[in-house]
Amino acid sequence: MAGPPPRALVIMGWVTSDQLRRRAEALGVAASYRDWRGRRVEVGAETLAAILEALGERPGRGPRRPGPRQPGPAMVAATAPQGSWPSPGDPLDHPIAPAPVGRGWGFTVQLYSLRSRNSWGHGDLRDAADLAAWSARELGASFVLVNPLHAAEPAGPVSPSPYLPMSRRFVSPLYLRVEDIPECADLPGPDRRRIEELAAPLRARNATPGLIDRDSVWRAKRAALHIIYARPLGPARDASFERFRVAEGRGLADWSTWCALAEIHGPDWRAWPAPLRDARSPAVEGERRRLAGVARFHAWLQWIADEQRAVAQSAARAAGMNVGIIGDLAVGAHPGGADAWAHADVLVPGVSVGAPPDEFNQRGQDWAQPPWHPVRLAEAGYRPLAGLFRAGFRHGGGLRADHVMGLLRLWWVPPGMPADRGTYVRYRHEAMVGVFTGEAARAAALAIGEDLGTVDPWIRDYLAARGVIGTSMLWFERAAGAPLPPRRWRRACLATVGTHDVPPAAAFITGEQVELRARLGLLTHPLDAERLAADAALSAWRDALVAERLLAPGPAPAAAEFTVALYAFLARTPAALLGVSLADAVGDRRPQNMPGTTSEYPNWRIPLCDGEGRSVLLEDLADHPGVRAVAGAVSQAASPPGATAAPRR
């Protein structure tokens, strides 16, 4: 008998040599891609078949597209890849995001790590307001960029990652300043004393470098918040709360109902009784009525968070910031959380989103979050996505979209496969990006996209044409293996030295980051080779700083001096925005996150400390020499007072 045709392989019903790849490309699933070194990678047949299965495709079925193609003028000269889908209508109908006026700088901070003397062991929205006001008045800062403040579980244990929340639309009550709730001032003496008793041990921890204990913080805050919630609202406040509930509509009702159910059945809806797994089922409707009192408490928490976010932005602008608080939107949410429950009809279960291998994450990344289904999201008119962006822009001067390339294409990892065996799935980029820029225009706020890592040039061109400000990280900015001269950096970007996913500057300068990655098993090359590569990269940057006369030739400088020189280098770029890591400024050496680890490293639990491991509080910043030195290095980029985002058409 004749054997199968050459290169043929039957997987899940597909004859994959040509049929599977053609079908995949027709559906926007990449059969090949360019890796971070520019090499072409062919995607395995098993990966393609699993992705098509997740999309609901079967062998012999014709490809589906999310709606008919409609003509429209090209937004950029660059050519988008075959298989991408234009949005309905003329793409010019989507507003372009506002542009920043002048140049500006600001601190970037993991807000939970920034504690003050009055914090409850965890940074909060009052701390954000105070940091913004102080840095604007004393240092001339234009903004403060904070980590995602997304909502976590309503009961412990509380997940530490800001980037794997239960909901991206709502805010974690961990960020509430209890004493700033108006009704707190009207409590009787015993209740006020009880709240002080709850806060005292957590405030005592602020002076220590110990890890942030979200469970202890939430137990205490929840008890205090229940005390305040029991206090009746006055007529005006009650009317304000009801207006908030009406404005937030079904989204808030779903969130608060999910919280009430999670307190009974646990925070993963996939393990709930079957009738409760469908957010629109009659069983859930019955529970909404039965648990209305519990759900109202969780809705109240969101109202208080909304008020405190508004106060923080008002404080920033009143102090002279032309942008104010910039929020952060995670790529996705927990597959068992509230968003996945409420939006199950437009998400793809089982598949995870992530990123392919790159220089610092050589095994790729799996973020354990379900992706949007391209067809179903389009059929829903992109309303779930618009709701996320609208909530993110509210009460802020801008929003940073983490891994903004996911609006155009997203790395999907099939179930049971490692992250490096995923592939890209494309979306209707005109519509997805149009939702982002449209909500930015509605809010008169900046749209910032984190576009680091493996990115095709056409993607950056398209985002820039729509007014999305990119992100340029110093360690990644190279040309022909050497640091990119400052004058060759792009203007429409937020320029930083590092990010939350790479170690602080001091750890690079001392070489500690290589040793840490080796201990955690994150290296894919021999340790000696990694050390040599790190030394060579650091030497190249030192030579670049010397060439710019930001460092003197001679012996290697101390970490603090090197850090200041790196930020002075940023100030010489044309970048519209300069982000100064507060951890870099105080000399911290511990990364907030080590991608590829879970329990091996205390991700997202590191409080702000100096290079000696001593706690640094908000009140300490004014007298910290590193903070003053780094601020001085970038302050030349400050915008004129009163400048703000300018609308563009």
Scanning 353-447, the segments in alpha helix (DSSP H) are 374-379, 383-393, 429-443
Residue with token string 């229940």: 226
- pLDDT in the model for residue 37: 81
Distance CA 566, CA 95 (A): 36
78 has pLDDT over 60:
no
Query: Cα dist. 270→166, 302, 332 in Å?
Result: 13, 24, 17
Q: Is residue 79 part of a domain?
A: yes
Of 34-38, 231-235, 349-353, where does mean pLDDT reach its minimum? 34-38
User: Is the pLDDT score of 3 beyond 60?
Assistant: no
Token output for 349: 């279960």
For every residue of 248-277, DSSP letters joined together read HHHHHHHHHHHHHHHHHH-S-GGGS-GGGS
Average pLDDT, integer, range 195-215: 98
Asked if residue 647 is part of any domain, the answer here is: no
Element (H, E) at 366: strand 365-366
Average pLDDT of span 619-638: 91
State the pairing for strand pair 40-42/96-99. Answer: unpaired
Question: Does residue 59 belong to any structural domain of this protein?
Answer: yes
* Separation CA 497–CA 582 (nearest Å): 11
| Residue 620 vs residues 46, 100, 201, 205, 624: alpha-carbon distances, Å | 55, 31, 20, 16, 6
Q: For the CA atoms of 236, 241, 247, 252, what is the dihedral angle to 10 degrees?
A: 180
How many whole angstroms separate alpha carbon 83 and alpha carbon 21?
A: 12
Q: Provide mean pLDDT across the span 56-66.
A: 61
Q: Would 43 be classed as within a structural domain?
A: yes
Helix, strand, coil proportions of the chain in percent (round to 5)?
45, 15, 40
**Strand extents, DSSP E, 450-559:** 470-473, 478-479, 482-483, 493-496
Q: Is 413 helix (H, G, I), strand (E, B) or coil?
A: strand
**The residue type at 109:** V
The pLDDT of residue 641: 40
Q: What's the number of domains the chain is made of?
A: 1
Report the C-alpha gap between 429 and 176 in whole angstroms: 36
> How confident is the model at residue 7, as a pLDDT?
39
Cβ-contact 35, 357 below 8 angstroms? yes
Q: What are the phi and psi torsion angles at 491 (to 5°)?
A: -85, -45
pLDDT tier, 364 (very low <50, low <70, confident <90, very high otherwise): confident
Which residue range is the domain that position 24 belongs to? 10-88
Give CA–CA dist 110/161, Å, rounded.
11
Q: What is the pLDDT of residue 62?
A: 53
> Given the structure tokens 């053609």, which residue do they identify?
22
pLDDT-based confidence at residue 5 (cuts at 50, 70, 90): very low
Q: Residue 613 pLDDT > 70, yes or no?
A: yes
The reported pLDDT for the residue numbered 19 is 87
Closest listed residue to residue 474, CA positions, set 440, 442, 508? 508
DSSP letter for 242, please.
Answer: H
Q: What is the Cα–Cα distance from 384 to 387, expressed in whole angstroms?
A: 5
Q: Give dist(CA 269, CA 261) in Å, integer.
A: 9
Amino acid at 563: T
Give per-residue pLDDT as tens, 505-554: 999 889 899 999 899 998 888 999 989 988 999 999 999 999 999 999 98
Pick 387 or 637 by higher pLDDT.
Answer: 387
Angle at alpha carbon of residue 175, lines to 174 and 176, rounded to 5°: 95
| DSSP reduced 3-state for 10 | strand
The strand pairing partners of 75, in sequence order, are none
Confidence of residue 10 (pLDDT cuts 50, 70, 90): low
Q: How far apart are CA 241 and CA 235, in angstroms?
A: 10
pTM, to two decimals: 0.91
Separation of alpha carbons 556 and 509, rounded Å: 10
CB 457 within 8 A of CB 113: no
Q: Is the dihedral of CA 451, 452, 458, 461 positive or negative?
A: positive
Burial 93-127 (b: 16+ CB within 10 A, else e): ebbbbbebbebbbbbbbbbbbbbbebbbbbbbbbb
Q: What is the predicted pLDDT for the residue at 77?
A: 28
The residues pairing with 469 across neighbouring beta strands, listed in sequence order, are: 448
- Nearest to 163, CA basis, from 431, 417, 387, 355: 355
What does the pLDDT read at residue 13? 56
**Phi and psi torsions of 324, nearest 5°:** 100, -145
Rounded to an integer, the average pLDDT of 164-188 is 97
Give the CB-side neighbour count of residue 627, counting CA atoms within 13 A: 26
pLDDT tens figures, 320-336: 999 999 999 999 999 99
- Kindly state the tokens that stand for 540: 């190249």
Nearest CA to 134 out of 307, 310, 8, 321 is that of 321
Tokens standing for 109?
Answer: 């901070």
Rg of the Cα atoms in the chain: 25
Instruction: With respect to residue 63, please indicate whether it lies within any of the assigned structural domains.
Output: yes
End-to-end alpha-carbon separation of the chain, Å?
66
State how far the Cα of 402 lies from the Cα of 498, in Å rounded to an integer.
14
Cα(609)–Cα(586) distance, rounded to whole angstroms? 7
Q: Tell me the per-residue pLDDT of 248-307, one tens digit each, with 9 for 90 and over.
A: 999 999 999 999 999 999 999 999 999 999 999 999 999 999 999 999 999 999 999 999
- Determine contact, residues 589/516, Cβ cutoff 8 Å: no
| Residue 17 belongs to some domain of the structure | yes
Mean pLDDT score across all residues of the chain: 90
Beta bridge partners of 426: 409
Q: Is residue 55 part of a domain?
A: yes
- What percentage of the chain reaches a pLDDT higher than 70? 90
Query: What ranges make up the beta strands (E) of 72-196?
Result: 96-99, 104-109, 143-146, 150-151, 167-171
pLDDT score for 453 = 78
Give the residue-averaged pLDDT of 55-65: 65
pLDDT at 360 over 70: no
Q: Give pLDDT, residue 26.
A: 93
Over residues 104-161, the pLDDT tens digits come to 999 999 999 999 999 999 999 999 999 999 999 999 999 999 999 999 999 999 999 9
Cα–Cα distance measured from residue 610 to residue 108, given in angstroms and rounded to the nearest whole number = 16
Whether 31 is covered by a domain: the verdict is: yes
272, two tokens: 């709930």
Q: Can you say how many angstroms the Cα of residue 548 is from the centroid of all Cα atoms in its chain?
A: 33
3-state secondary structure of 340: helix
Q: Which residue has the tokens 């002075």?
A: 568
pLDDT at 544: 96
